[in-house]
Amino acid sequence: MSKALPVVQEKSNEPVRAVIDFDEKLAAHGLELRAAGVETLQVNTGKLCNQACKHCHVDASPARTEIMTRETVEQVIVALRRFRISTLDITGGAPELNPSFRYLVREARALGAHVQVRHNLTVMFEPGQDDLPEFFRAHEVEVISSLPYFLAEQTDAQRGRGVFEKSIEALRRLNGAGYGTEGSNLTLNLVYNPVGAFLPPPQSSIEQDFRRELRKRHGIVFNHLYTITNMPIKRFLDYLRRSGNEERYMSRLIAAFNPATVEGLMCRSLVSVDWTGRLYDCDFNQMLELAVAPELPQTIAEFDPAKFAARRIMTGSHCFGCTAGAGSSCGGAVAANS
Amino acid sequence: MAYYEEDDLARFSEVGKHRPDLFEKFMAWYQACQEDGALSRREKALIGLAVAHALQCPYCIDAYSQSCLEAGSNMEQMTEAIHMASAIRGGAALIHGLQSHNSVNKVSM
């Protein structure tokens, strides 16, 4: 595992500050945040990662030891089987580094679930992982990969020196396996997020740039590009504080609040599971240890989608990150730019 | 105290204090100019950045640097826009050399 990347030691345990309460902002627009169902179970298999990206809301790194056990993985599979949840979204850290990762994928696919993996590309070059493109292909996994920009300078500034070059090689291998190519049913989606304290550009516009430049410079193709806003949590919050940008960034998010994003927020359709099996409304709440509403079952072992389908969502100031501009979710923008 | 205060950019609307009607008219026009039209928002942000440099307005430079990033431009593109503004400023100064030449020629034998 790469040890060359810096591990940021600073921790932001104090939540980001905002001058306006998120729920009050919703109420001012006549809105209330409640789930609309449970279509996706998003499982965070642990904080171990071969990278230590500067913006990581998980604070993942090679030094982290928190990882989901086989017993908890079995509980996830039981929930998928029992409740026929249509989509399993696997994230981390680098989920592939969890010894039970491939077992989870195989079992979920056997149950007929759509499986998507938040794959950081470079993990493919870790020991025992070089067959990942073939494994993904064999199980028709949807691959969703972060690539903050189509140039090395910006990508390496966020994700570590040399990450861009490795990412390009990994994308070539995924294309070689049929991912993202014309006529293939193997989906390769990329994720853009800003390299700094600013909002993402319009998704369709930057997608065109990525498509043109990655094809021209590297011969790489992909299906869609998702834009995701950097969340003021953990390492990105540390960065905001260190660089004196916290107040300005939060003002930017609040000023760009777009009520049209609320309907499509990911928390309305997914339930997030942490490495110990505890439940959250999203992966960001998970990192803030902001559990699902106390009246609900708190663990995957007790999970029952009927109780979660119209639940109230737990919120905080960080939620302004998902409602700014065109909005932000695990599937990218959720509304037209305001 | 510096002549320019970074935080003043967020206080821009205070300029409208004594004639809010005029400021509102300005803002409506200003906002309308930013929208996607025959030119994209990205192109307009790059024009804004170039003009900000030509005017050497630190508020505008801050605002349009951010706008360019949020419209999807990168530093290479933004630097080209800044060079465009600078080159035209340079050219505008240089062509006045002909005025000087003309003046000299007029009084020279």
Question: What's the one-letter identity of residue B89?
Answer: R
User: Which residues in A lie closer than 8 A to residue B10 (C-beta atoms)?
Assistant: 251
Instruction: Identify whether B7 is part of a domain.
Output: no
- Cα torsion for B98, B100, B102, B105, to the nearest 10°? -130
pLDDT-above-90 percentage for chain A: 90
User: Which residues in B lie closer than 8 A to residue A209 (C-beta atoms)?
Assistant: 72
Q: Any CB–CB contact under 8 A between B89 and chain A?
A: no
Nearest to A193 by CA among A143, A235, A264, A145: A145
pLDDT at position B70 over 50: yes
Nearest to A243 by CA among A148, A120, A330, A157: A157
Contact B70 A205 (CB under 8 A): no
Distance from CA of A302 to the nearest CA of B (A): 43
pLDDT at position A266 over 50: yes
- What pLDDT, on a 0 to 100 scale, did the predictor assign at position A6? 43
**What letter does residue A9 receive in the DSSP assignment?**
-
**Among the partner residues A149, A200, A205, nearest to B42 by beta-carbon distance:** A205
Instruction: Identify whether B63 is part of a domain.
Output: yes
Average pLDDT, chain B: 94
> Taking a contact as any Cβ pair under 8 Å apart, which residues of chain A between 205 and 234 contact chain B?
205-206, 209
Instruction: Identify whether B10 is part of a domain.
Output: no
Average confidence (pLDDT) over B22-44? 95
Contact B69 A194 (CB under 8 A): yes
- What pLDDT, on a 0 to 100 scale, did the predictor assign at position A13? 67
Contact A201 B74 (CB under 8 A): no
Token pair listed for A182: 């014309």
- What pLDDT, on a 0 to 100 scale, did the predictor assign at position A316? 95
User: Which residues in A lie closer than 8 A to residue B71 (C-beta atoms)?
Assistant: 201-202, 205
Average confidence (pLDDT) over A247-260? 95
Q: How far is CA A9 from the centre of its chain?
A: 22
Instruction: Identify whether B11 is part of a domain.
Output: no
* pLDDT, tens digit (0-9, with 9 covering 90-100), for A36-73: 999 999 999 999 999 999 889 999 999 999 999 999 99
A22-323 maps to which CATH number? 3.20.20.70
Contact A201 B10 (CB under 8 A): no
* pLDDT, tens digit (0-9, with 9 covering 90-100), for A87-112: 999 999 999 999 999 999 999 999 99
Instruction: Identify whether B95 is part of a domain.
Output: yes
Contact B74 A151 (CB under 8 A): yes
| Whole-prediction pTM | 0.88
pLDDT at position A16 over 90: no
Distance from CA of B10 to the nearest CA of A (A): 10
pLDDT interval class at A331 (50, 70, 90): confident
Helix axes A101-110, A70-83, angle to 10 degrees: 10
Contact A196 B71 (CB under 8 A): no
Token pair listed for A228: 């995701």
Instruction: Identify whether B3 is part of a domain.
Output: no
Question: What's the one-letter identity of residue A46?
Answer: G
The nearest alpha carbon in chain A to B71 belongs to: A201
Instruction: Identify whether B103 is part of a domain.
Output: yes
Tokens 């007929």 correspond to A112
> The CATH number of the domain where B36 resides is what?
1.20.1290.10
* pLDDT, tens digit (0-9, with 9 covering 90-100), for B47-56: 999 999 999 9
Average pLDDT, chain A: 93
In angstroms, the CA A109 to CA A288 distance is: 30
* pLDDT, tens digit (0-9, with 9 covering 90-100), for A31-43: 999 999 999 999 9
Q: Any CB–CB contact under 8 A between A258 and chain B?
A: no
Q: Hey, which bits of chain B come out as E strands?
A: none
SS3 content of chain A, % helix, strand, coil (to 5): 40, 15, 45
Cα angle A74-A79-A85, degrees, rounded to a multiple of 5: 130
Domain span holding position B34? 19-107
Q: Parse chain A into domains and list their residue ranges.
A: 22-323
**What letter does residue A302 receive in the DSSP assignment?**
G
Q: Domain tally for chain B?
A: 1
SS3 content of chain B, % helix, strand, coil (to 5): 80, 0, 20
- What pLDDT, on a 0 to 100 scale, did the predictor assign at position B1? 53
Between A16 and A119, the more confident residue is A119
Instruction: Identify whether B100 is part of a domain.
Output: yes
Which value does ipTM take for this structure?
Answer: 0.78
